[in-house]
Amino acid sequence: MRRLWLSLTLVAAVGALIASVTLAVGQASRPRPAGPGMMTAQGWYGTGTGMMGGTGMSAMMGTVWLAGDGHRVTSIAAARDRATTAGTSAGLHTGEAIWFDNGFYVELKDATGDSATEVIVDPATGAVGTEPGPAMMWNTRYGMHRTGTTGPATVTSDRAQRYAADWLGRNLPGRQAQPPDAYPGYYTLETTTPGGTINGMLSVNAATGQVWYHSWHGRFIAREDA
């Protein structure tokens, strides 16, 4: 079951990589790759020490990671505990947490309360890793291509929501784009049914307007704010 979850996560991330699009002002969206290929999921979510080992931030990759301890994670509270352990060395604490049937999504915030990065907690092993996609590839402070600073956002929060709504209208009609959270270099927002039930997530690049749908989460189960 764990191997299936890992495989689905990697395949979904690569699929999202290929399917991501750029939305330019006044122009229709068109396919565009989001960046280089994803590294193997085993390095992030393995039950042993994996590629990184231990706990904390990788100085080389700029990503949050925590090896699994082999214990199942069956609640948002337990997922928060794992994410807290993973982010502590970098001075990060948990924000919003969402339980999907493929795993737990947890927002990590910095000491000032700003959104810093996003992690996934493997429900089968308790392993924690930076979320595939935008958190790895677009995050300018905690990602693989970090610059150390956030820099000015060419795309505003309101415009990011409009880009997301436009993308959803073209690709997943019926889903609604909620107000985004601003991360270093990009925005992430939830998608919902007209009745307000979460049914997905996507991110918008703050410099280019590029949209990346989070296709790896699965069915929504529960949500909790910090």
Which pLDDT belongs to residue 226? 80
Tokens of 28: 């229709």
DSSP 193: -
Distance of CA 70 to the CA centre of its chain: 23
- DSSP state letter for 44: H
Q: Return the pLDDT at 12.
A: 46
Residue range of the domain that includes 10: 2-224
pLDDT at res. 20: 40
Q: What is the predicted pLDDT for the residue at 45? A: 37
Would you state the pLDDT for residue 150? Answer: 62
Two structure tokens written together for 5? 């979850």
In the chain, the N- to C-terminal Cα span, in Å, equals 30
Containing 118, the helix (H) or strand (E) segment is strand 115-121
With H, G, I as helix, E, B as strand and everything else as coil, classify residue 15: helix
What would the two tokens of residue 142 be?
Answer: 């905690």
Q: Write down the pTM of the prediction.
A: 0.78
Count how many domains the chain has.
1
Which pLDDT does position 137 carry in this prediction? 95
CA distance linking residue 134 with residue 34, whole number of Å: 8
Of 218, 226, 4, the residue nearest 103 (C-alpha): 218
Q: Which residues pair with 198 in a beta bridge?
A: 192
When the pLDDT of each residue in the chain is averaged and rounded to a whole number, the result is: 80
Q: How many CB atoms lie within 10 A of CB 117?
A: 27
**pLDDT < 50: residue spans in the chain:** 1-53, 59-61
